[in-house]
Amino acid sequence: MEKTPYVGPFLRIISSVYDFFLLLGVWFLVGSLALWLNGGEILNPALGSLLVFLSGWAFYAFFWMKNGQTLGMQVWKFRIVNTDQSHDRITLKQTFLRYLVNCGMLALLGMPLFLIYADSKKLAVNDILSKTKLEKI
C-alpha cells in the first residue's frame, strides 16, 4: 500500500469497520436498557431510531473530544483535529456536524469520500463542513 500524507478513503472505511463493531455493543446496551425501562415492551420505531442516532453520536463525540481518536483510528494511526488554530480539540458542535454528515455519506454508500481526490487539500465533505481534518500520526 502506497503511503500518502493524508488519510484516504480506504483507511477511513477500514477504521469505521473497527468502530462499527464497538458501536454494536453500545447499541445492544442502549437497546437493552430502553427495553428494560419500557417494561419489556418494544419501543416505538421512531424513538428507537432516535436512540440509535443519539447513542452513536455520543460514542463518537466522547472519543473524538477526549483524545481525537476512536479505537479504529488508533489502530490505523490517525486522529481528528480542529482546523481552527485557536484550539486543537474539536467541539461538541463539530462532532455533531461530522457525525450527521457521516450518516449521510453512509446512506450514499461512502461515495462522497472519493471527493478527497478532487479537493486540493485532500479533505472529504465531512472534514470541510465540520471544519476538522484527519491527520496521520
When mean pLDDT is compared across 3-7, 11-15, 100-104, the lowest value belongs to: 3-7
What pLDDT does residue 3 have?
Answer: 65
Is residue 72 very low, low, confident or very high in pLDDT (cuts 50, 70, 90)? very high
Mean pLDDT, rounded, of the chain: 92
What pLDDT does residue 2 have?
Answer: 56
What pLDDT does residue 86 have?
Answer: 63
CA atoms within 13 A on the CB side of 44: 3
pLDDT above 60 (res 69): yes
The residue among 88 and 45 whose pLDDT is bigger is 45
| Strand 132-136 versus strand 78-82 pairing type | antiparallel
* Helix spans in 1-137 (H): 9-37, 45-66, 71-75, 92-107, 125-130
pTM equals 0.89
What pLDDT does residue 66 have?
Answer: 94
When mean pLDDT is compared across 6-15, 71-80, 84-93, the lowest value belongs to: 84-93
What pLDDT does residue 126 have?
Answer: 94
